[in-house]
Amino acid sequence: MAKVVVVGGSFAGLTAALDLRRGLGKEHDVVLISNNPDFVFIPSLPWVVLGSRTAKDVSFPLAPTLAKQGIEFLNEAITKIEPDKNIVHTKDKQINYDYLVLGTGPSLDFEAIEGLGPHNGYTQSICNLPHAMMAQVKFEEFMKNPGPVVVGVAQGGSCFGAGYEFVLNVDTYLRKHGIRDKVPVTWVTSEPFLGHFGLGGVGDSEKMVNRLFEERGIKTYPNHAISKIEPNQVILDDGTELPFNYSMIIPAFKGIDAILQSPGVGNARGFVPVNNEMRHPEYHNIFAAGVIVAMSPKTPTPVATGVPKTGYMSEHMAKAVARNIIADLGKMPNSEFDPYNMDALCMLDMGDSGVYMVVDPIFPPQRSYTLKYGPWVHAGKIAFEKYFIWKMKNGLTNLPI
């Protein structure tokens, strides 16, 4: 009998746990550890900020779903991993494992820039549900006294799609409320050009995104780092000062403290290296999936950018992890999975329309890609949100996407 411990209850962790439970015999145990009691559909967080979704709309409790599937659930944060002893620590427990799956997601490196973040700084975040709810309160206050808006992704950041969605949703929201002409909107990004996405671009994405921003009158500052943030002002690396009444800046990501404090598990930033089986190169019973996987850009950029790992990508990494653990335990051949050579699907919502993107592989030169724009993308994302939450809540990770 083997005990498989999965850390993380979001796209990567929950997918891996459900696939493992479905694929392993009942003689094997599957345990999921997460500091968050709920699964959150993170792509909907821009809608939470703007009031079209509530926390309940975009989340569900993990415990009932996991219990129904026969997965033990520990609602705790891990504090340390001892890979040589096959032990995971929480504050009060030591959990032994035969296999460990790290799908923790990241921690947010607000400390990298003075004044960044909602806790000790002056900007908002949409990287998790509590931050989105804080950002919603601040946005409601902003609407009583509207002024300039600055949205961006800081140097080293990777979550460009969410940043683009937020700035375009804000633009649409302000137009619907008849005040867009009174509110200058600015986009700041470490990407060398608009539509780079941390990948090098997708087909003619640069041309498409430039056109969208020009049509909407959004001023842009690509290829910039942020030096610091002061009350009501973002200061760029060249000294440019961007005033704001409301700002949302996505920070760079790093690994969680438990990995950073576990020598040999992660790299200097706390991301977990993997081989072509999504397996740790040194500790072969440790696997990783999702944002926590160590991936570097294929082509360096003048200002540091990270590699985006979307929910779609995280889910497919997790499925590869599950397949290989099941193969190990069934003494079957393992399968290779190269995250640099995977495909990706994205619906970039704009509040009333959007861009549909399918790319294979994620990095240029792509074998194929599709970029389509229209109001049907907004409707499609709403439908996908409902479908995906239903799928995960019912443990149906064997269904498409």
* C-alpha angle 122-162-250 in degrees, rounded to nearest 5: 30
230 touches 122 (CB < 8 A): yes
Phi, psi (rounded to 5 degrees) for 287: -125, 160
Residue type, 285: N
> Residue 175: how many CB atoms within 10 A of its CB?
15
Active site residue 127: no
Q: Which residues pair with 287 in a beta bridge?
A: 101, 279
Identify the three-state secondary structure at position 181.
helix
Identify the three-state secondary structure at position 73.
strand
How far is it, in rounded angstroms, from Cα 60 to Cα 270?
Answer: 28
How far is it, in rounded angstroms, from Cα 187 to Cα 195?
Answer: 12
Selected catalytic residue, list 81, 159, 162, 288:
159
How far is it, in rounded angstroms, from Cα 35 to Cα 201?
Answer: 35
Best CA proximity match to 121, nearest among 129, 110, 132, 130: 110
DSSP label of 277: T
Strands 149-153 and 185-189: parallel
The residue assigned the tokens 């970029």 is 371
User: Which ranges in 280-374 belong to alpha helices (H)?
Assistant: 311-329
Selected catalytic residue, list 346, 348, 355, 371:
346
268 touches 275 (CB < 8 A): no
How far is it, in rounded angstroms, from Cα 165 to Cα 354?
Answer: 9
146 touches 245 (CB < 8 A): yes
Give burial (CB, 10 Å; 0-12/13-18/19+) of 153.
Answer: buried
How far is it, in rounded angstroms, from Cα 235 to Cα 177?
Answer: 29
How far is it, in rounded angstroms, from Cα 277 to Cα 287?
Answer: 8
How far is it, in rounded angstroms, from Cα 338 to Cα 361?
Answer: 10
* Catalytic site positions: 159, 346
